[in-house]
A and B are shown apart, each in its own frame.
Chain A
Amino acid sequence: MANTPLTPVITAHWDDPQSWSIDSYRSHGGYSAVADVLKADPDQVIETIKDSGLRGRGGAGFPTGMKWGFVPQGDGKPHYLVVNADESEPGACKDIPIMLANPHALVEGVIIAAYAIRAKHAFIYIRGEVPHPIRRVRQAVAQASAAGLVGENILGSGFDLDIVVHGGAGAYICGEETALLDSLEGRRGQPRLKPPFPAVAGLYASPTVVNNVETIASVPYIVRNGDAWFRQFGTEKSPGFKVWAVSGHVNRPGIYEAPMGITMRELLAYAGGMRDGRDVKFWLPGGSSVPMLTPDHLDIPLTYEDMAEAGTMLGTGTPMLYDNTMSVVKAVTRWLEFYKHESCGKCTPCREGTFWITGTLQKFQAGHAEDSEVDTLVQLCQQILGRSFCALGDAAATPYPAALKHFREEFTAALTQPPDEVFDPAAAMIIPSLSGVGS
């Protein structure tokens, strides 16, 4: 069934013993391009990334080379590279594995990207709840420093680079790039008013590029192999390979690296199909903040453009799949509980909207919502979508309308009967022995 092959690049050597070590990374050609890159014109590096068509892997899919090109050069200000490693979206689990298994790809990417945008300081902002990748990336930076790849006058090139690995303090909002910058500056993480955009006034009011972990970790391979090599994967508008993190009611949840444009059905096959031979009930291509899809959509290529056409978004490229043991009402309620908990409070629609919507969904979950509330919730989501300060509000406004579109009857049923009575929570648990925990 799977015609699209897996294309391990970032993940190619994860089964090596100690794949995270600098020796392992180097044995596969790691850091071999750094010396050449540091001799090249930084603008040429930017051109290479532009030509590769690499798009940001953090969810928005913004062209990476173009972002780098926005940084004004010769402006006399310090420039900063910030890696957004605050991976916190429900369902998204790709950056953390990359940092655990291949941290040197990230470090090498940082060196190349910082050189391209003329930054002497780079920051890797890692989600605070995950200490292991923080330790591992710190160790990788230390190893690279010991090898003369980070620090002053790298490989005699005259290029200096300092890399700071910073652990966050536990707020989803700090994955929003400007909130991340505020947090990094020691403030309370809340999104900033734009403009100015980070490329003009970001960290410490200086030009700053904020890139996702996977984006930066892809850079060394593109530079080493060329943009044409990268473009042989994927589609015209969504070139390259992607680290897909498949989760949910599948037999082999995990990381699958494959070209852009692979279909969900193909990825599902690599993941061993749905557990117990069940059918897909609904699935989301990239985290809880993209609209859900149904089995009808399993053959649509996973690209930015095709997902947009299907009315959803590729997001982080971390599909979650659910079988028919799962209550849609419960899934949506749990996501909204997350967004309510993580709303930073800055803007009214997100702060009050997530509070209201979550409370109402909890009434559905308890089986005693009002008839009118089915449609009131849609209006409330409309009052948030496109009106909130940042994308967190948009994310919170997304799950319910999409769920209602496909599964309205489950919500109307929940007006009188708690979904847990219809969908046995224990059956929906991925690890049955944990049934009852957290229900």
Chain B
Amino acid sequence: MSTTSHDADREAPAVDMVTATIDGTDVSVPKGTMIIRAAELVGVEVPRFCDHPLLEPVAACRACLVEIEGMPKPQPSCAVPLGDGMVVKTQVSSEVADTAQKGVMEFLLINHPLDCPICDKGGECPLQNQAMSVGRPESRFTGQKREFPKPIPVSSEILLDRERCVSCARCTRFADQIAGDPFIALLERGAQQQVGIGEEPFDSYFSGNTIQICPVGALTSAEYRFRSRPFDLVSVPSACEHCASGCALRTDSRHGAVMRRQAGDDPEVNEEWSCDKGRFAFPYLAEDRLTTPLVREGGQLRKASWPEALRRAADGLATARGRSAVLPGGRLTMEDAYAYSRFARVALATDDIDMRARPASDEEASFLTGHVAGSCGPVYRDLEHAPAVLLVAFEPEEESPIVFLRLRKAARRGTRVVSVAPLASDGLAKMSGTLIGSVPGSSAAALGSLDDDTTAALKQPGAVIMVGERAALEPGTFAAAARLAADTGAQLAWVPRRAGERGAVDAGCLPGLLPGGRPLTEPAARRDVAAAWGIAADELPHRAGRSLAEVVAQIAADHQAGSQQAEDGDEFQPEIGALLVAGVEAADIPDPAGFLAAVAAAPFVVSLETRPSEVTARADVVLPVGVVTEKSGAFVDWEGRRRPFGRAIPQAAAFTDATVLAMLSDYMDLDPAPRDVDTLRDEIASLGAWQGTRPAVAAAAAAQTPPPGPGEALLASWRHLLDLGVMQEGEPHLAGTRRPSVARMSSATAAGIGVADGDAVRVSGPRGSVTLPLVVTEMADGIVWVPWNSPDSRILLDLGACPGELIRLQRGDA
């Protein structure tokens, strides 16, 4: 399976070094290294506020002044690169530097309210800490401090206390330089200088980072403000469970409850950033949890003991051995996913396993088998240095925000970003990207007819093609992308949206795919896996199983046939006798009603869940499992990089999915299955990645959608990062920063139904319609874009349509 080792075998480019003296100690650093960071190497911490290694220097706070021989005035060490032969004296060896730093610190405190006892930052505050080391014990300032009303919201989530601000401009530089959302800026002048917003609030997906890098308590979140003190928190490094970006996080809890989450520092992945979903969307973890097993009795679910529930589940599943289907969802750790993969094949003797709780295709499955599972692709660092990156059915800012940040960083250095999409999103503009306009459902055509310029760009060494999971709705696109990568030599990456999908692919949670990228039909692959699992190769299922959609269709067919035969009085054995479901939201599946009908119709359903859902409501046995903070494990990010994490709430008592599956194995009288994370990891590691041949991508035929007639359009859509996802529940302040739901179409399309910019548009599909304000957008005619799962716009539930399908358009008031 994939590992992190692919960083190690990359050769580091030659670096020019400079040698200088800091406080009498010789130091050699790469050319361009700022003095402040070179000083750290000799063990000297120069005070700082505005300095941040990932932001451009501004030299505004003047806290880091040092003496440089030959220069008449002390210099800001954050903004002066160490030069060859320079003789630098910091506060350690220079009276001038020492007094300069102390003078600045004294100035910084005169207008600061010194309200540390009631400040969120108190206890982890750079101003507080450096005031202790550089400041005077008592203030000489006796005047009136400047005052501001406080706090003021700059968004529903971010609150600003201007009195505490030291005007370091970290937040405004972050918003401008890193996020590309310059909605906050410094206003006014002199001591009245303050951070502020214009007409728009600070609704950036990355706004929470400003709180974390604020060196004082000027920026706080509505979610955390006044809820805890840093010294009362238990902090555990963790990995984000929301998307496949793979952010390192830190989870801070108090008395067993998560109080906040911060971005972790991982230069190879998220650097020091996280998105607001990863940071603020955690209240769901504690909402409405299942605490005991449930079993169905007399048509109703009732609480049951673990032994009773396990007995019922094991018996039901054993009865349907060889005729069961497993739908593990895309949010599992790689260990839990592996446990499902193993349980399906060993305990249930089925290959009907599909983790894709979303639009999916057979072409995608063959692409994942052939190009993704257990393999190493490009990594973040490759994006940063790529000459060109082609995005296909992928909106990084909405679907993998840390990929977006890295691509934006790259684009600011000259990387050319090109997107194949129906319209140029705001995110693409922030990456200075160019659009190759495509018709929904027909990206393959666009990939097959790239202009020479783009093709040439992709032929440059280091170019990357990134394909998003929505390519499953674009027949032929995976095959076209694979061909393009082969033709140009570009690296190819697949970026799913959910945190667990890549790990589940590696674990073999797809029909026809065994762990480590092993094709089910390859004899050698079967032998590897069977040996690891302690069974005979012959005991593994012999042919590829059903996808989620096929399972749903089969249950429906069984149900129909069963009803028929019951009428005829015959005994009927359904092809699918039991369903094992974990963490699947019906609303994510293209046909939510059909899926729920199948769950209801399935003869026996076991659900492993964290909270009540539409699936648990239809299950025969419900077994509660732990949420991400209650267990250890690892996610695998889009790179294929493992993101291990430990239990964030040490006192939490909850089973992992793998443990529950192992217990079920026991109750089914099977050989013991691995149940703890370490054993699972050992087994995964010993199995390793498949080295044999892989199948080619089986291209799907192009869609045969007729061209839109009058009043019709092809649906285009993707999810907003912040939307109606269940894992964002319970955080209204975060929800307040969501992007507004709008419909987008070209001016000609709008004119065709008699609407103009700002008018209401009604978009109707098979299930119903949504009405949204129109934003006329530069895009091809005959296409309408609406958000996937946002307020007033849920395409699967409200429209019953997927992107690429024909829908109807009318005026909103018609």
Chains A and B form a bound pair? yes
Q: Which of A188, A340, A383, A386 contacts B190 (CB 8 A)?
A: A340
- Cα-based distance from A44 to B188 in the complex (angstroms): 45
B795 → chain A, closest Cβ, in Å? 41
A62 → chain B, closest Cβ, in Å? 16
Question: B110 to A352, Cβ gap below 8 A?
Answer: yes
* Chain B, interface SS category: loop
Question: B186 to A352, Cβ gap below 8 A?
Answer: no
Whether B52 is near chain A, meaning CB under 8 Å from some CB there, is no
Which listed segment binds A: B138-146, B283-291, B620-628?
Answer: B138-146
Q: Which of A344, A360, A382 contacts B189 (CB 8 A)?
A: A344
- Cα-based distance from A384 to B190 in the complex (angstroms): 14
Instruction: Given A383-B103, A383-B107, A389-B60, answer yes or no on A351-B72 (Cβ-Cβ < 8 Å).
Output: no
Whether B150 is near chain A, meaning CB under 8 Å from some CB there, is no
Whether A317 is near chain B, meaning CB under 8 Å from some CB there, is no
* Size bracket of the B interface: 35 or more
Question: B190 to A351, Cβ gap below 8 A?
Answer: yes
- Cα-based distance from A341 to B189 in the complex (angstroms): 8
Whether B111 is near chain A, meaning CB under 8 Å from some CB there, is yes
Question: A387 to B100, Cβ gap below 8 A?
Answer: yes
Residues of A within 8 A of B104 (CB): 348-349, 383, 387
Question: B59 to A193, Cβ gap below 8 A?
Answer: yes
A389 → chain B, closest Cβ, in Å? 7
A353 → chain B, closest Cβ, in Å? 6
Question: B189 to A356, Cβ gap below 8 A?
Answer: no
Question: A354 to B63, Cβ gap below 8 A?
Answer: no
Whether A355 is near chain B, meaning CB under 8 Å from some CB there, is yes
B328 → chain A, closest Cβ, in Å? 53
Instruction: Given A345-B191, A387-B104, answer yes or no on A355-B111 (Cβ-Cβ < 8 Å).
Output: yes
B790 → chain A, closest Cβ, in Å? 35
Considering only residues 336-374 of chain A, those with a C-beta below 8 Å from chain B are 340-349, 351-356, 359-360, 370
Question: B193 to A348, Cβ gap below 8 A?
Answer: no
Residues of A within 8 A of B58 (CB): 193
Question: A345 to B193, Cβ gap below 8 A?
Answer: yes
Whether B542 is near chain A, meaning CB under 8 Å from some CB there, is no
Whether B317 is near chain A, meaning CB under 8 Å from some CB there, is no
Question: A345 to B192, Cβ gap below 8 A?
Answer: yes
Whether B79 is near chain A, meaning CB under 8 Å from some CB there, is yes
Q: Which of B60, B62, B79, B146 contacts A355 (CB 8 A)?
A: B146
Residues of A within 8 A of B784 (CB): none
Whether A388 is near chain B, meaning CB under 8 Å from some CB there, is yes
Question: B186 to A188, Cβ gap below 8 A?
Answer: yes
Q: Which of A345, A347, A349, A376 contacts B140 (CB 8 A)?
A: A376
Question: A353 to B190, Cβ gap below 8 A?
Answer: no
Considering only residues 412-439 of chain A, those with a C-beta below 8 Å from chain B are none
Residues of B within 8 A of A81 (CB): none
- Cα-based distance from A399 to B62 in the complex (angstroms): 22
Residues of B within 8 A of A171 (CB): 189
Question: B167 to A345, Cβ gap below 8 A?
Answer: yes
Residues of A within 8 A of B608 (CB): none
Q: Which of B61, B74, B142 contacts A386 (CB 8 A)?
A: B74
Q: Which of B73, B106, B193 contacts A351 (CB 8 A)?
A: B193
Residues of A within 8 A of B166 (CB): 348
Residue of A nearest to B102 (CB): A383
Question: B143 to A360, Cβ gap below 8 A?
Answer: yes
A267 → chain B, closest Cβ, in Å? 31
Residues of A within 8 A of B185 (CB): 188
Residue of A nearest to B72 (CB): A386
Question: B144 to A348, Cβ gap below 8 A?
Answer: no
Question: B111 to A352, Cβ gap below 8 A?
Answer: yes
Considering only residues 395-416 of chain B, those with a C-beta below 8 Å from chain A are none
- Cα-based distance from A387 to B190 in the complex (angstroms): 16
Whether B65 is near chain A, meaning CB under 8 Å from some CB there, is yes
Question: B190 to A345, Cβ gap below 8 A?
Answer: yes
Residue of B nearest to A370 (CB): B142
Whether B57 is near chain A, meaning CB under 8 Å from some CB there, is yes
Residues of B within 8 A of A345 (CB): 167, 186, 188-193
Instruction: Given A348-B63, A387-B73, answer yes or no on A193-B57 (Cβ-Cβ < 8 Å).
Output: yes
Residues of A within 8 A of B191 (CB): 340, 343, 345, 351-352, 354-355
Question: B62 to A347, Cβ gap below 8 A?
Answer: yes
* Chain A, interface SS category: helix
B585 → chain A, closest Cβ, in Å? 47
Contact with A along B96-112 (1 / 0, CB 8 A): 00011001101110110
Considering only residues 114-145 of chain B, those with a C-beta below 8 Å from chain A are 140-144
- Cα-based distance from A342 to B193 in the complex (angstroms): 11
Question: B63 to A355, Cβ gap below 8 A?
Answer: no
Q: Which of A188, A343, A344, A387 contacts B62 (CB 8 A)?
A: A387
Residues of A within 8 A of B143 (CB): 356, 359-360
Residues of A within 8 A of B57 (CB): 193
Question: A348 to B72, Cβ gap below 8 A?
Answer: no
Instruction: Given A344-B189, A351-B190, A356-B141, answer yes or no on A387-B60 (Cβ-Cβ < 8 Å).
Output: no
A342 → chain B, closest Cβ, in Å? 7
Question: B65 to A346, Cβ gap below 8 A?
Answer: no
Contact with A along B47-73 (1 / 0, CB 8 A): 000000000011111110100000011
Residues of B within 8 A of A343 (CB): 189-191
Contact with A along B168-199 (1 / 0, CB 8 A): 00000000000000000110111111000000
Q: Which of A188, A346, A376 contacts B60 (CB 8 A)?
A: A346
Question: A387 to B74, Cβ gap below 8 A?
Answer: yes
Instruction: Given A351-B190, A351-B193, answer yes or no on A383-B106 (Cβ-Cβ < 8 Å).
Output: yes
A262 → chain B, closest Cβ, in Å? 30
Residues of A within 8 A of B100 (CB): 383, 387
Considering only residues 383-409 of chain A, those with a C-beta below 8 Å from chain B are 383-384, 386-389
- Cα-based distance from A13 to B135 in the complex (angstroms): 60
Residues of A within 8 A of B189 (CB): 171, 173, 342-345
Instruction: Given A351-B167, A376-B140, answer yes or no on A344-B61 (Cβ-Cβ < 8 Å).
Output: no
Residues of A within 8 A of B141 (CB): 356
Question: A352 to B74, Cβ gap below 8 A?
Answer: no
A59 → chain B, closest Cβ, in Å? 18
Contact with A along B141-165 (1 / 0, CB 8 A): 1111010000000000000000000
Question: A348 to B61, Cβ gap below 8 A?
Answer: yes
Contact with B along A307-348 (1 / 0, CB 8 A): 000000000000000000000000000000000111111111
Residues of A within 8 A of B190 (CB): 340-345, 351, 354-355
Question: A348 to B186, Cβ gap below 8 A?
Answer: no
Question: B103 to A349, Cβ gap below 8 A?
Answer: yes
A400 → chain B, closest Cβ, in Å? 15
Question: B167 to A348, Cβ gap below 8 A?
Answer: yes
B82 → chain A, closest Cβ, in Å? 15
Residues of B within 8 A of A188 (CB): 185-186
Residue of B nearest to A189 (CB): B189
- Cα-based distance from A106 to B359 in the complex (angstroms): 70
Question: A352 to B108, Cβ gap below 8 A?
Answer: yes
Considering only residues 197-254 of chain A, those with a C-beta below 8 Å from chain B are none
- Cα-based distance from A212 to B315 in the complex (angstroms): 92
Instruction: Given A348-B166, A353-B107, answer yes or no on A388-B62 (Cβ-Cβ < 8 Å).
Output: yes
- Cα-based distance from A353 to B108 in the complex (angstroms): 9
Q: Which of B60, B74, B166 has the most CB of A within 10 A?
A: B60
Q: Could you name 7 residue pairs across A and B whose Cβ atoms are closer than 8 Å?
A: A343-B191, A352-B107, A356-B107, A370-B142, A383-B106, A388-B62, A389-B60
Interface residues of A (CB under 8 A from B): 171, 173, 188, 193, 340-349, 351-356, 359-360, 370, 376, 379, 382-384, 386-389
The 5 closest A-B pairs by CB, nearest first: A345-B193, A383-B103, A352-B107, A386-B73, A343-B190
Interface residues of B (CB under 8 A from A): 57-63, 65, 72-74, 79, 99-100, 103-104, 106-108, 110-111, 140-144, 146, 166-167, 185-186, 188-193
Known: A340-B190, A348-B61. 8 other contacts (CB 8 A): A188-B186, A340-B191, A348-B107, A352-B107, A352-B110, A353-B107, A387-B62, A387-B73
